[in-house]
Copies of this chain bind each other. A is one copy, B any other.
Amino acid sequence: MTAPLSAAPLAAAERLRIRSGANSGQTAGLAPGHVQANLAILPADWAGDFLRFCQANPRPCPLLAVSEVGDPRLPTLGHDIDIRTDVPRYRVYREGVLMEGPTDILDLWRDDFVAFLIGCSFSFEEALLADGLPVRHIAMNRNVPMYETNIPCVAAGRFGGTMVVSMRPMVPRDAIRAIQITSRFPSVHGAPVHFGDPAAIGIRDIADPEHGEAVPIEPGEVPVFWACGVTPQVAIRNARPPIAITHSPGAMLITDLLNTHLSVL
């Protein structure tokens, strides 16, 4: 990201609380206005393929930053970030299988690890709310519903698979406005990839999301679907690297970047 990075005491304070163990849960609503990010950590010999996978699939995998090999700092996202401690809860995958859920990865860190930070829909949801658009799962205090689809990702080396999408129900007038707003935020998934008929993108049952929690779709509303940052976790499960570490869904890295600075317009 080329957005200017300035002191962000709110974000830094939340990271310190997380680092100290005082928050091992969700980050939704913390440090309002600041970009939160999805995390994927891979060994260097898998990082090239994964970087190409993200580059080829910018809607689900918009890269905000990539660390130096073995370096847990992310200076373009925050002055003092240590990716080994600053996420509330991690997921450790071995051979593509989720094995552990630690609150830090100090003991697991290796000098060949590369950290990938990927944009998160929290950023555009803040823009939707600021425009007066209702966001159902936030109003209901639920995690956003997420669905496996049949939309193919572009494969890159050992990484490939299908796209995961998040869903927000809206009346068409609001959906049109939401398309305009989210189009300004390509680094946090951008415009929707679909609206309307769930079966058209291979969704099995709109009432039973594979990730997150279901929300009701009221009469006159249509489901609107955005590419989702859970997609890289599916690609990691498919690729089965010896080790990979991600954040736990909803427990994101809080950065010093401002959401408004991600807007391209």
- Which residues between 146 and 168 of chain A lie within 8 Å of chain B, taking CB atoms? none
Most interface-central of A173, A191, A193, A220 (chain B CB within 10 A)? A173
Q: In the assembly, what is the distance between CA of A196 and CA of B176, in Å?
A: 11
**Is A222 touching B196 in the complex (CB atoms < 8 A)?**
yes
Q: A173-B193, A173-B194 are in contact. Are A200 and B179 (CB under 8 A)?
A: no
Asked whether any CB of chain B lies closer than 8 Å to the CB of A195, the reply is yes
Q: In the assembly, what is the distance between CA of A238 and CA of B248, in Å?
A: 61
Q: Which residue of B172, B176, B193, B196 is within 8 Å of A200 (Cβ)? A: B172
Asked whether any CB of chain B lies closer than 8 Å to the CB of A76, the reply is no
Q: Which residue of B lies closest to A191 (CB)?
A: B176
* A200 cross-chain contacts in B, Cβ below 8 A: 172, 220
Q: A200-B220, A265-B265 are in contact. Are A195 and B179 (CB under 8 A)?
A: no
Q: How far in angstroms is the closest Cβ of chain B from A233?
A: 24
**Is B176 touching A192 in the complex (CB atoms < 8 A)?**
yes
- Say how many copies of this protein the assembly contains: 2
**Is B176 touching A195 in the complex (CB atoms < 8 A)?**
yes
Asked whether any CB of chain B lies closer than 8 Å to the CB of A55, the reply is no
Q: In the assembly, what is the distance between CA of A222 and CA of B222, in Å?
A: 12
Asked whether any CB of chain B lies closer than 8 Å to the CB of A100, the reply is no
Asked whether any CB of chain B lies closer than 8 Å to the CB of A197, the reply is yes
A residues sitting closer than 8 Å to B (CB atoms) are 172-173, 175-176, 179-180, 183, 191-197, 200, 220, 222, 265
A-B contact pairs, 26 of them (CB 8 A): A172-B194, A172-B195, A172-B196, A172-B197, A172-B200, A173-B193, A173-B194, A175-B195, A176-B179, A176-B191, A176-B192, A176-B193, A176-B194, A176-B195, A179-B179, A179-B180, A180-B180, A180-B183, A180-B191, A183-B183, A195-B195, A196-B196, A196-B222, A197-B220, A200-B220, A265-B265
**Sample of 13 further A-B pairs with CB below 8 A, known A173-B193, A180-B183, A196-B222:** A172-B196, A172-B200, A173-B194, A176-B179, A176-B192, A176-B193, A179-B179, A179-B180, A180-B180, A180-B191, A183-B183, A195-B195, A200-B220
